[in-house]
Structure 1
């Protein structure tokens, strides 16, 4: 396991038990983010870096009983918290690295990723791995329940020009990784970049 993985696991592992309590009002934002992604009944969808699984119920509601919902996370404690919250009933939970997904090529219709981009050690390669498992024309939502400026203020830091989530940086990054950005919203109450898998 790389140092990057160890740092991510240590950071989230130490916070997993209280993660949902720290963000009790995020549910509607996750539901709206999933709705914007637009999964349909019967779709196969992935929550990449699912954490405590807050998006899983909305994904299950969207794809219905005939669909497939998979949550993947690198941190065992986050998945344990998801199970304790009963969110494993909404989808299968896998302890795995989004950089090496145990999924067949082009086996998914959509990927939802909340807060993932900031924790990817090799963003271009990692986004390309997400593209590998999505069929051409499939969709990706890069989501955060608050926007870049609000998040920076919350973390007592300044926004910088090299922020990967800034539109001038994110659009070409996605393009190099097999995705075409189709919409971009960065406001205090939501960050949401939607992309389509290139064919």
Structure 2
């Protein structure tokens, strides 16, 4: 799995152009995951590692015209695709590293992260940075449109016990980073972990 910056940029940069076509059926799963954040009109939300911005339209819908939607990604090619798809209309796109966000502390109500956790170079530290920008009581959604077993099968590998997204690993990882895991769902059609920012 891609981990350091250059690897992540190369991995996603090379795949950016065909990304939306390959995963065109994922829209409803994204909408359901966004609903799990319980956003209200006027809220401020970040899509961390937003890729081509597929979560931005449902996030915008949730926070309304007066809300704030940010999409941050490390890979310029992915953001280019987001612009090409017109998703810049749903949120402000930032070429930024989720490890050092250009966002002030406690500024956000929620963070959405699709496929994010497998690509974090230093998971505990990176999740702490996400906690920094969210107000106490704010939420984090870690999402993937495929569950762990289905994703592993598609990639031709087996799930191992050291998978960060396994609940016994994820719960303490989040707890040590300022989050409390409040719900966890890992079925073939979706992986969704919701956490609340601790005071």
Superposition TM-score, scaled by structure 1 size: 0.98
Deviation at 1:104, TM superposition (A): 0.2
- Counterpart of 1:182? 182
- Counterpart of 2:161? 161
Partners of 1:157 and 1:46 in 2: CA distance: 31
Where do 1:1-199 residues align within 5 Å? 4-199=4-199
Runs of 5+ in structure 2 lacking a partner?
A: none
Q: How many residues align?
A: 197
Task: Give the 4+ runs in structure 1 shifted more than 6 A.
Answer: none
SS at match of 2:4: helix
Partners of 2:66 and 2:181 in 1: CA distance: 28
RMSD over equivalenced CA pairs, Å: 0.6
For 1:59-108, what per-residue CA distance to the aligned partner results, in whole angstroms no more than 9, with x for missing partners?
00000001000000000000000000000000000000000000000000
Runs of 5+ in structure 1 lacking a partner?
A: none
Deviation at 1:37, TM superposition (A): 1.2
For 1:7-47, what per-residue CA distance to the aligned partner results, in whole angstroms no more than 9, with x for missing partners?
00000000001000000100000001001111110000000
Partners of 1:190 and 1:109 in 2: CA distance: 23
Partners of 1:152 and 1:197 in 2: CA distance: 29
Partners of 1:47 and 1:85 in 2: CA distance: 16
SS at match of 2:103: coil
SS at match of 1:37: coil
